[in-house]
């Protein structure tokens, strides 16, 4: 994924205006319009697939880690030159016109446009067989669904627009409520799964990044279809936990999808996932959320670790540099964010690992009243990743939730919005469960709708209602 390909894809997505500032680089605006107008072929499908995956990798940047993990009481980014990393995450509400409240929005819709460019035009790629076209659509739909899921992660009950595959002259797509958005994401994942199955034993007609085979092999439509079921199971669990319109049947659907995705559990496959990889080579991208000396662990994350937990290797009790500021103080560093460790510059990023799937299945089992099965799943991760003694069968759903929250915290530390989403789903983002980090701490549960989105709708704050 060189810089040149990234620039080509930005143009292909029809979302930015590229400028022709060197005679050796073609007019990228015309590349995009002519490509889609005259039809795709195997080479252009490769470009579009690369662009979609690169767009999603770009969305998994530092803000995607630091913002939700700060609100979840796992991280701080202490920078006295820019205190909004603290004040607008665990202080006052994030400003919708600032980089805090305006973040983690537009990039997802850029990637959705990239996916739609593939889905809407794949039939014009006549040098691809029907099976190859189906495989391509299945991958594009899966990553399209992931973008919508990320919007829900950060905006929750504020809703989201989903019918965005419209001409640029059309009015902005209407917002739908979270419940309808999750139902749409789930359906989209099913459509993707059907397409991947239709591919049969055919290979993807394009090269995939190394992260599709670095920890487990997800490089075939059949294998990728099982990973798709993992995402389906994740979305279905949170459909069941939706505060406004909980879909109780979703817990059983979640367990079934995650069981299909996981197959036989194995200790050696707990970290299997599709990964994004990084490089320090010229023209490549270094890991965006590692090596930042301003990133530290919240004291709660260090102090809550159980004695003997092997996952404590991620936590350093030797905070150096700026460890206080904006009303917070810590003595803990996150090993993955230590700038002096050169391996952090190329540390891969997992999208959805097997250990998370197992713990998600435990969460769904807890809500379905299957406490023995949930205990077994929690203990599989706890004993194999944490090196901790197994727990007795949960006596209640409350005990199960507390146990699974602990395991997810340390197995997935510094890996995304998982804990933030769980705290919100369980109703734990409040003073009854968390201490106030600053005097102004509002226990923020969502980022706002960005001001640019509001302005594009005539200045009116989008409202959503569910039937």
39-283+349-430: CATH topology is 1.25.40
At 289 the pLDDT is 76
Sign of CA dihedral 410, 416, 420, 423: negative
Q: Of 164, 143, 66, give the one whose Cα is nearest residue 413.
A: 66
| Dist. CA 237–CA 361, nearest whole Å | 8
| Dist. CA 124–CA 141, nearest whole Å | 17
Whole-Å CA distances, 372 to 202, 211, 359: 40, 35, 14
Asked whether 421 and 415 are in contact (CB, 8 A), the reply is no
Count of H helices and E strands in the chain?
16, 10
Phi, psi torsion values for 275, nearest 5 degrees:
-120, 155
Reading the block at residue 64, the tokens are 């995607």
Sign of CA dihedral 432, 436, 437, 441: positive
Q: Is 55 exposed, middle or buried (0-12, 13-18, 19+ CB in 10 A)?
A: buried
Residue 58 DSSP one-character state: H
Asked whether 231 and 145 are in contact (CB, 8 A), the reply is yes
Alpha helices in 72-220 (DSSP H): 84-90, 106-121, 130-155, 178-198
Asked whether 182 and 152 are in contact (CB, 8 A), the reply is yes
Beta-carbon contacts of 431 under 8 Å, excluding residues fewer than 6 positions away, are 443
Q: Is 389 exposed, middle or buried (0-12, 13-18, 19+ CB in 10 A)?
A: exposed
Reading the block at residue 212, the tokens are 């599709």
To which residue do tokens 């992931």 refer?
A: 146
User: Residue-wise pLDDT tens for the chain (467 aa)?
Assistant: 333 333 333 333 333 322 333 333 333 333 366 677 789 999 999 999 999 999 999 999 999 999 999 999 999 999 989 999 999 999 899 999 999 999 999 999 999 999 999 999 999 999 999 999 999 999 999 999 999 999 999 999 999 999 999 888 899 999 999 999 999 999 999 999 999 999 999 999 999 999 999 999 999 999 999 999 999 999 999 999 999 999 999 999 999 999 999 999 999 999 999 999 999 999 888 998 777 889 999 999 999 999 999 999 999 998 877 799 999 999 999 998 887 788 899 999 999 999 999 999 999 999 999 999 999 999 999 999 999 999 999 999 999 999 999 999 999 999 999 999 999 999 999 999 999 999 899 999 999 999 999 999 999 999 888 87
Domain spans in the chain, listed from the N-terminal domain onward: 1-38, 39-283+349-430
| Dist. CA 233–CA 239, nearest whole Å | 10
DSSP β-bridge partners for residue 10: none
At 283 the pLDDT is 85
């Amino acid at each position: 994924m060189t810089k040149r390909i990234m620039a080509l894809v930005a143009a292909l997505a029809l979302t930015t205006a590229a400028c022709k500032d060197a005679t050796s680089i073609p007019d990228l605006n015309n590349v995009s319009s002519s490509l889609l107008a005259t039809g795709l072929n195997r080479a252009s499908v490769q470009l579009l697939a690369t662009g979609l995956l690169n767009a999603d990798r770009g969305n998994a940047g530092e803000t995607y880690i630091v913002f939700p993990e700060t609100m979840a009481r796992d991280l701080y980014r202490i920078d006295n030159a820019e205190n909004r990393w603290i004040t607008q995450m665990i202080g006052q509400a994030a400003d919708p016109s600032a980089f805090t409240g305006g973040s983690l929005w537009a990039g997802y819709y850029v990637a959705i446009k990239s996916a739609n460019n593939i889905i809407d035009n794949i039939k014009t790629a006549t040098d691809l067989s029907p099976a190859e076209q189906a495989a391509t659509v299945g991958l594009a739909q899966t990553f399209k669904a992931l973008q919508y899921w990320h919007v829900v992660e950060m905006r929750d009950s504020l809703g989201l627009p989903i019918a965005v595959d419209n001409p640029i002259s059309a009015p902005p797509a209407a917002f739908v409520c979270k419940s309808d958005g999750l139902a749409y994401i789930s359906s989209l994942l099913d459509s993707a799964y059907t397409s991947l199955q239709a591919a049969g034993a055919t290979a993807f007609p394009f090269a995939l990044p190394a992260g599709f085979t670095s920890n487990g092999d997800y490089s075939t439509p059949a294998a990728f279809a099982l990973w798709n079921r993992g995402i389906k199971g994740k979305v279905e669990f949170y459909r069941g936990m939706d505060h406004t319109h909980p879909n109780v049947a979703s817990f059983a659907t979640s367990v079934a999808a995650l069981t299909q995705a996981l197959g036989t559990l194995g200790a050696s496959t707990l970290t299997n996932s599709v990964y994004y990889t990084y490089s320090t080579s010229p023209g490549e991208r270094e890991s965006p959320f590692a090596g930042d000396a301003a990133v530290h662990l919240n004291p709660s994350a260090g102090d809550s670790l159980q004695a003997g937990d092997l996952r404590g290797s991620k936590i350093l009790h030797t905070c150096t540099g700026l460890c206080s500021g904006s009303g917070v103080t810590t003595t803990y560093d996150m090993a993955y964010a230590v700038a002096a460790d050169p391996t952090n510059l190329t540390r891969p990023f997992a999208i959805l690992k097997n250990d998370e799937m197992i713990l998600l299945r435990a969460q769904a089992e807890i809500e379905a009243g299957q406490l023995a099965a949930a205990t077994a799943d929690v203990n599989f991760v706890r004993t194999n990743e944490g090196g901790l003694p197994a727990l007795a069968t949960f006596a209640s759903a409350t005990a199960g939730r507390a146990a699974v929250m602990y395991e997810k915290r340390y197995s997935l530390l510094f890996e995304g919005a998982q804990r933030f989403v769980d705290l919100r789903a369980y109703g734990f983002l409040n003073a009854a469960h968390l201490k106030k980090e600053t005097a102004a701490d509002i226990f923020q549960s969502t980022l706002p709708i960005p001001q640019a989105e509001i302005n594009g709708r005539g200045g009116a704050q989008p409202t959503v209602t569910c039937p």
